[in-house]
């Protein structure tokens, strides 16, 4: 897998003029549990409204507050992540306490829900994923790449229970 993303972050100089604070290439990292999936954590926040001042937590935001898989977790946080799925990557059903905007940047992928229904996605398709059990399945012959924007949300309440985060360790 060769996921590489360019991240450009703006900021301000001492007189308040806009500057490029950083311009860097990020290499996707795969976890040992899921070697067929590479991702780059682009940016994250842990509160709303976000503090955009230079003295804020820019280093922490750049490094990523998110340390617990897909779940944002602060109650007011966000994450921007680029993820590449290799063809045939094993699927895993999961749910997060977030609303996710999943933008398919390249390739093709299937969104599978726990009711067994599948929707085929092609480049440019956008999924608004609202705390449901789901899996991303690349049945194609080429990698697919998503931009994910995750925003903290309350757990969905259905069937008399809270549908909380389910993220299998594998």
**CA angle centred on 15, ends 12 and 16, rounded to 5°:** 40
Task: Output 72 or 25, whichever has higher pLDDT.
Answer: 25
Average pLDDT over residues 9-28: 91
Q: Is the pLDDT of residue 71 over 70?
A: no
Contact between 51 and 39 under an 8 Å Cβ cutoff? The reply is no
Whether the model pTM is above 0.75: yes
Q: Which two tokens stand for residue 37?
A: 């999936």
Cβ 90 vs Cβ 63: under 8 Å: no
Q: Which fold has domain 32-163?
A: Jelly Rolls (2.60.120)
Q: Where are the domains of the chain?
A: 32-163
Please write the tens of the pLDDT for every residue from 122-154: 999 999 999 999 999 999 999 999 999 999 888
In DSSP terms, which residues pair with 75 in a beta bridge? none
7-22: string of b/e by CB count within 10 Å (b at 16+)? beeeeeeeeeeeeeee
CA distances from 115 to 120, 122, 132 (A): 15, 22, 10
C-beta separation of 2 from 106 below 8 A: no
Q: Are strands 18-27 and 4-12 parallel, antiparallel or unpaired?
A: antiparallel
State mean pLDDT over 95-119.
Answer: 96
Distance, in Å, from the CA atom of 1 to the CA atom of 28, rounded to the nearest integer, reads: 8
């Amino acid at each position: 897998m060769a996921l590489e993303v360019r991240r450009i972050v703006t900021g301000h100089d001492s007189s308040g003029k806009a500057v490029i604070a950083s311009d860097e290439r990020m290499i996707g990292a795969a976890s040992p549990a899921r070697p067929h999936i590479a991702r780059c954590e682009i940016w994250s926040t842990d509160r709303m409204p976000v503090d955009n001042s230079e003295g804020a937590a820019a280093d922490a935001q750049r490094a990523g507050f998110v340390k617990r898989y897909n779940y944002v977790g602060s109650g007011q946080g966000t994450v921007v992540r680029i993820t590449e799925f290799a063809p045939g990557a094993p699927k895993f059903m999961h749910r997060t306490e977030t609303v996710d905007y999943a933008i398919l940047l390249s390739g093709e992928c299937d969104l599978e829900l726990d009711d067994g229904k599948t929707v085929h996605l092609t480049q440019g398709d956008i999924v608004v994923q609202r705390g449901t059990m789901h899996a991303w399945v690349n049945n194609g012959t080429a990698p697919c790449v998503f931009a994910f924007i995750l925003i903290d949300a309350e757990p969905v309440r259905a069937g008399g229970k809270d549908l909380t985060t389910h993220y299998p360790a594998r």
